[in-house]
C-alpha cells in the first residue's frame, strides 16, 4: 500500500495495470507457446504440440503468491513458472515444454513483450506533445519575453522560440525512443550458456523465427551478458525524461508568483497547499520532475549492472528488472502530464511585457550605446547611456525617456528612431526563423 503514496503518483495510471504480475505470466506463456511453435515448424516437435500446449496453459491457474514466494529461492520467476506450467500440461507434453531454453530467455523476452505496448504509448504521447506544442509555438511566434541566463534577465526572445527549443529537444528524444522501440526490443534465446546447447544446427534459426513469431527484433547473438540492448533502451528513456523535465523546469520557474508569465492548466492538478490555501502550486511540473529524477536513477542502475560476469549475471541481471520497468512507467507518466501541460498552458503576455520593463531598459544598454555612438564619441555615448539607465531605474521610467531627457542625446537622435531601436521586438534575433525551422522539421515526423 505504501507504494500508492510514494511511487505510483509519478507512474502512468494506464501503464501500471498492464505491467501486473498476471501480465508478466501471460507474456511468459506467450514466449513458451511461440517457442514450441517455431520448434514444431522446424520439425523438432510433433505437429500440433504448440496448439496442445496453448490449449492446456491457463494464466488464471497460476498461483501468483507461490510464484512470488518461490522466485527468491530460484533467483527468478521463470523457475517456479516452468514448474507450475508443466503441472498444467499432460505428462506427454512436459518434455516438449521449455525445450532448449533457459530462465533468462523467458524472463528477458517476456519483459520486452510487456514493455513494448508501453513504449508505443510513450511514442503516441510524444506525438500528442509535439502536436500540442506546435500549436502553442505558433500562437506565440511574436510574443516577446525576456530571455534569462544564469537565472538573470539577459536579452529579449519570443515565447514561440522558447517553445521551439523545447520541442526540438523532445523530438530528438522521440527519435531515439522510436528507433529503439522499432529495432532494439530483442528476443532472447540462447539456452543454458548462450550458445544454443543441444540445438547446434537450429539455434540461430530458431532465435530468428522466435523473434518473428513474437513481433520482436532478432539480435545478432543471444545477449545474456551483453546488456547493450537494455542500456540502449534505458538511455532512450533517459533522453525522454531530460526533455520533459527541461520543459517542466522552465514552466515552473516562469509560473513563480514574482514572474507570472505562464500558469499550469487545471488538468495537471489542483495545486493547493495544506497550509496556504492561496497557493496555486505547479504540481504537474513537480510530477514530471519527480518522475524524471527517478528515471535518471534507474538508468544509472542499469549502467551500473551492465557489465555482467561470464555467461550469466550474478545479481546484475536480477537488479535490472525493477528499474527497467519503473523507468518505462515513469516516462509514460511524465509524458501524460506533459501532454496536459502543453495542451492547456495559460500564457500571460502582459506579464511578459511587464517583466521586460523591470530593469528600466538596462537590457538595452548595448543597442542604445551602438545607436548613440553613430552620432557622438562611443566612450561618451556609453557614459550617457549609463547615466540614463541609472535614472530610469530610480524613476521607474523607460530608458528611451531617460535618454531623451538628456539634451546631448535629444540633439542627435529623434524620438521615433530611438524608441524603435529600443523596442524589445527588434531584439529577438532569429527567433522567428527558429520557429519556422522547427515547424518544417517536425512536419516530417
Cα–Cα distance between 62 and 85 in angstroms, integer? 8
Using pLDDT thresholds of 50, 70 and 90, give the confidence band for residue 269: low
Q: Which of 411 and 166 is assigned the larger pLDDT?
A: 166
Quote the pTM value: 0.93
Cell of 238: 533517459
Is pLDDT of 270 > 60? no
Q: ∠ at Cα 50 (47, 51), nearest 5°?
A: 90
Mean of pLDDT values over 398-416: 90
Q: Enumerate helices (H) and strands (E) in the chain, giving the number of each.
A: 20, 4
**Mean residue pLDDT across the chain:** 94
Q: Which of 279 and 144 is assigned the larger pLDDT?
A: 144
Q: State the residue for C-alpha cell 521610467.
A: 397
Cα–Cα distance between 399 and 422 in angstroms, integer? 8
Cell of 221: 547473438
Cell of 264: 499550469
Find out whether 403 and 364 touch, Cβ atoms under 8 Å: no
- Three-state DSSP class for 263? strand
Mean of pLDDT values over 386-414: 89
Displacement of CA 321 from its chain's centroid (Å): 19
Is pLDDT of 5 > 90? no
Active-site residue list = 273, 312
**Alpha helices, H only, 223-282:** 228-254
Q: What are phi and psi of 353, to 5 degrees?
A: -65, -40
Q: How many residues does this entry show for the chain?
A: 445
Residue 118: the pLDDT is 98
For the chain, first and last CA: distance in Å? 41
Residue 277: the pLDDT is 45
Residue 122: the pLDDT is 98
Residue 194: the pLDDT is 97
Amino acid at each position: 500500500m505504501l507504494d500508492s503514496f510514494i511511487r505510483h503518483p509519478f507512474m502512468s495510471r494506464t501503464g501500471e495495470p498492464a505491467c501486473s504480475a498476471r501480465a508478466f505470466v501471460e507474456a511468459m506463456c506467450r514466449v513458451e507457446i511461440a517457442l514450441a511453435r517455431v520448434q514444431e515448424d522446424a520439425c523438432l516437435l510433433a505437429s500440433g504440440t504448440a496448439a496442445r500446449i496453448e490449449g492446456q496453459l491457463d494464466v488464471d491457474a497460476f498461483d501468483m503468491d507461490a510464484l512470488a514466494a518461490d522466485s527468491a529461492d530460484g533467483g527468478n520467476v521463470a523457475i517456479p513458472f516452468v514448474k507450475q506450467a508443466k503441472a498444467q500440461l499432460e505428462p506427454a507434453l512436459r518434455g516438449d515444454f521449455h525445450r532448449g531454453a533457459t530462465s533468462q530467455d523467458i524472463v528477458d523476452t517476456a519483459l520486452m513483450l510487456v514493455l513494448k505496448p508501453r513504449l508505443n504509448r510513450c511514442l503516441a504521447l510524444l506525438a500528442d506533445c509535439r502536436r500540442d506544442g506546435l500549436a502553442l509555438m505558433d500562437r506565440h511566434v511574436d510574443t516577446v519575453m525576456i530571455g534569462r541566463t544564469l537565472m538573470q534577465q539577459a536579452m529579449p526572445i519570443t515565447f514561440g522560440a522558447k517553445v521551439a527549443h523545447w520541442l526540438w529537444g523532445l523530438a530528438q528524444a522521440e527519435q531515439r525512443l522510436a528507433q529503439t522501440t522499432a529495432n532494439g526490443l530483442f528476443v532472447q534465446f540462447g539456452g543454458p550458456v548462450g550458445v544454443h546447447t543441444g540445438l547446434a544446427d537450429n539455434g540461430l534459426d530458431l532465435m530468428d523465427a522466435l523473434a518473428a513469431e513474437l513481433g520482436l527484433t532478432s539480435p545478432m547473438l543471444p545477449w545474456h551478458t551483453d546488456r547493450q540492448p537494455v542500456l540502449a533502451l534505458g538511455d532512450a528513456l533517459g533522453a525522454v525524461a531530460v526533455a520533459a523535465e527541461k520543459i517542466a523546469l522552465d514552466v515552473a520557474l516562469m509560473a513563480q508568483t514574482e514572474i507570472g508569465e505562464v500558469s499550469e492548466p487545471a488538468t495537471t492538478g489542483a495545486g493547493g497547499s495544506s497550509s496556504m490555501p492561496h497557493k496555486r502550486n505547479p504540481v504537474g511540473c513537480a510530477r514530471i520532475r519527480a518522475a524524471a529524477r527517478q528515471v535518471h536513477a534507474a538508468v544509472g542502475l542499469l549502467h551500473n549492472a551492465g557489465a555482467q560476469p561470464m555467461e550469466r549475471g550474478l545479481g546484475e541481471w536480477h537488479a535490472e528488472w525493477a528499474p527497467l520497468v519503473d523507468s518505462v512507467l515513469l516516462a509514460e507518466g511524465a509524458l501524460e502530464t506533459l501532454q496536459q501541460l502543453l495542451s492547456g498552458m495559460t500564457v500571460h503576455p502582459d506579464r511578459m511585457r511587464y517583466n521586460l520593463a523591470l530593469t528600466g531598459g538596462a537590457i538595452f544598454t548595448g543597442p542604445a550605446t551602438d545607436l548613440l555612438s553613430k552620432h557622438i564619441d562611443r566612450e561618451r555615448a556609453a557614459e550617457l547611456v549609463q547615466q540614463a539607465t541609472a535614472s530610469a531605474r530610480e524613476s521607474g521610467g523607460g530608458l528611451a525617456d531617460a535618454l531623451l531627457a538628456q539634451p546631448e542625446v535629444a540633439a542627435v537622435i529623434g524620438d521615433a528612431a530611438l524608441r524603435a531601436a529600443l523596442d524589445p521586438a527588434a531584439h529577438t534575433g532569429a527567433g522567428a526563423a527558429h520557429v519556422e525551422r522547427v515547424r518544417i522539421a517536425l512536419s516530417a515526423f
